[in-house]
Amino acid sequence: MKTSEIKFTVTLDDKNMPQKIDWSASDGGVDSSSKAIMLSVWDSEAKNTLRIDLWTREMMVDEMKQFYHQNLLSMADTLERATGEKDAAKAMRNFAQEFGERMNLVMKNPLFPTPPKQ
């Protein structure tokens, strides 16, 4: 059986705020730094998701908006691949489009209907 390791090293300042986030992946030969990470782990006993969200001071607001937008799209793709739920994935992509429009990340797309305002 093969084993692969992904390792995160977070350097903290004196107030325990992330200063630097380094990560490496043994299989991919990756050794890199990042300004932010989102890590989700499924706890099957508690039937709950455990999350770690970290970002450094260098992560600009516009980058964070883009990071979230891309994560929403990636989650829709993963949901469809993992479950075959095409309609739910489409709904997530529609939301990601709306989110991207609200954050001025993407242009309005006529293929994605905007829900009426209430």
Domain count, the chain: 2
Res. 112: pLDDT tops 60: no
Instruction: Report if residue 15 sits inside a domain.
Output: yes
Please tell me the predicted confidence (pLDDT) of residue 29: 83
Instruction: Report if residue 91 sits inside a domain.
Output: yes
Please tell me the predicted confidence (pLDDT) of residue 71: 97
Instruction: Report if residue 109 sits inside a domain.
Output: no
The reply to whether 68 and 83 lie within a common domain is: yes
The reply to whether 51 and 66 lie within a common domain is: no
**What would the pLDDT profile of 45-82 be if each residue is shown by its tens digit?**
999 999 999 999 999 999 999 999 999 999 999 999 99
| Nearest in space to 4 (alpha carbons), one of 21, 24, 22 | 24
Q: What is the overall mean pLDDT for the chain?
A: 93
Instruction: Report if residue 17 sits inside a domain.
Output: yes
Distance, CA of 105 to CA of 52 (rounded, Å): 25
Range of the domain at 69: 60-103
Instruction: Report if residue 114 sits inside a domain.
Output: no
Beta-ladder partners of 20: 11
Kindly report the pTM of this predicted structure.
0.85
CA distances in angstroms from 35 to 15, 32, 78, 82, listed in the order given: 18, 11, 23, 28
